[in-house]
Structure 1
Amino acid sequence: MKKSILVTALSALLIGVLSGCGGEDKKAEEPKTAKYYKEHIDEAIKIYIDCVENDHYRSDGFKSIKNQNCNNSAQGLSLAGIFNSFKGTFNIDGKEVELDEFMKKYK
């Protein structure tokens, strides 16, 4: 009887260790929303420039967190009135500028 209780307890402990029970909960990284980027313009600009320079869509895949952040940062900039996605231009001090000029200013 004692032996079977010991075996059961050790089995439960082993299953718990193998399944990760008792350890830290690892939270999956979530992409930031367009609303977040609208409220954090400097970060949105930094993320957008990084996306353009490193082409995260092609290298990391469409469903990657990086690509979702790229899309959401562009949407946040658009919501804030900084990025015109139809023309592909940016509004700096009331003036429409192309991507190259935008990157020079904020890099």
Structure 2
Amino acid sequence: MTRPRIPHRVGRPRTRPDMVLANKAYSSRAVREHLRRRGIRAVIPVPADQQGRRRCRGSRPPTFDRKANKQRNTVERCINRRKQRRGIATRHEKTATVHPAGLHITAILLRSAL
């Protein structure tokens, strides 16, 4: 008996990002090595305690792109403004069509407020 074929996935094609923008909480050796192995550039600020330990050992700090980090800050502020709407933050709308519609309405309201 032959096994049935698995159908091709529908949706966005899987791609590898050029860079990952993250905050200081993701500045661990494991995260940086994981991204480095996959050829993804990490734009993650180094916390002050890690900077101090790095100076003691004499190692070189990781590269940090301030311009790219400003983009992360802009995106986070936009997400936080969206989450001020209670229905979006708690995800009252459980269906796959109503929740994106709420996101669109929130985006329109945020855009008109600017």
Q: TM-score, normalised by structure 1?
A: 0.25
Larger Rg: 1
